[in-house]
Amino acid sequence: MRKLNVLIAGSTGYIGIQLVKLLLTHKYINIKFLCGSSSIGKKISNYDKSLDKKKLPKIVKFNKDYLNKVDLIFTALPNGEAQVISNYLLDKNVLIDLAADFRLKKASDYLKWYKQKHKSLKNIKKSIYSLPEINGKKIKNYKIIGCPGCYPTSILLPLIPLIKKNTFNFNNVIIDSKSGYSGAGRNVHKKYVNKNLYESLSAYGVGFHRHNSEIEQEIRNHTKRKINFLFTPHLSPMFKGILSTIYLDLKIGFSLEKIQKILNDFYKKEKFIKILKVNSLISTNDVINTNNCHISICKTKYKNKIIILSAIDNLIKGGAGQAVQNMNIKFNFKKDEGLK
């Protein structure tokens, strides 16, 4: 099998660096171009010393002429920029976006939540939002793949199978998520200049975080149901990892054990989803540097209430790893190629 020639746009951000590291271990990938803006002419090892002895091209400014020389484009750019690149795609190209440009299926929703007009309306219908374990089989028919956000990944993986089975009260769902500060990007220290990121926990986007739209859209798409949920994200004093805590009121006839069985059955063939023993107290440390999602169902003092814990590495399962997973499905590579 020949190697794919790949261009990575936005290669020096936290997710871009993580993607480079994963692709270097992939048998069928040749990194042809690394693109940036303020980093043009530099080596990527300037941004991560572990890449110092790797054979990688110097960073260049994106040029649409490069698309003639590559099969696959990964974009890990500020919102809106992947849309522009998508307008230049050739028939031979596949684009996998790690930002939010092709997550929402309505241009009006994108304007509402991201405060900018979509720059590639024609390509919205040509794209697919792909959480691999949920709808990965469909992506072979698409040339533009939008990867989920990190918070929605940790939330949708446990919730969608349970919504499909109508297991809990859809009017009272509370989601509390805590992320490492890398989730806010390389400029996180400029964004939160007045916060001590290394020693404090901070809530942000309370009630109106952008990922609300993505979570609601995908729940409706996959279950045809609407749920009322409250989602609050937090930045925690760690570099990476996400722990989401989800509070559910079970419907009559469903027990903690039944919920456990539903999730086990749904994900029994999925390599990266680990449904742990009931009441397992998981942490982000269990999943750091992996493409795994660990899920634990926990009892409470009320028989009809449960707590679901879900942990991922936000830069891998919630970012670069999920992009590689989608690529592997699209091009018929082994599921775990580049993700071992």
> In the 3-class helix/strand/coil scheme, how is 83-136 assigned residue by residue?
HHHHCCCCCCCEEEECCCCCCCCCHHHHHHHHCCCCCCHHHHCCEEECCHHHHH
Q: Which two tokens mark 27?
A: 């048998």
The closest of 269, 265, 271 to 290, measured between CA atoms, is: 271
Helix and strand element counts for the chain (H, E): 10, 14
**Separation CA 53–CA 294 (nearest Å):** 34
Pair 128, 145: CB distance under 8 Å:
yes
Distance (Å, rounded) from C-alpha 31 to C-alpha 55? Answer: 9
Four-residue CA torsion sign, 146, 150, 151, 157: positive
- Cα end-to-end distance, the chain, whole Å: 20
Query: 50-77 b/e with 16+ CB inside 10 Å = b?
Result: ebeeeebeebbebeeebbeebbbbbbbb
- List helix spans (H) across 208-303: 211-223, 256-266
The active-site residue, picked from 147, 150, 293, 298, is 150
> Is 147 a residue of the active site?
no
Residue 41: strand, helix, or coil: coil
CA nearest 154: which of 15, 291, 11?
A: 291
> Which are the catalytic amino acids?
150
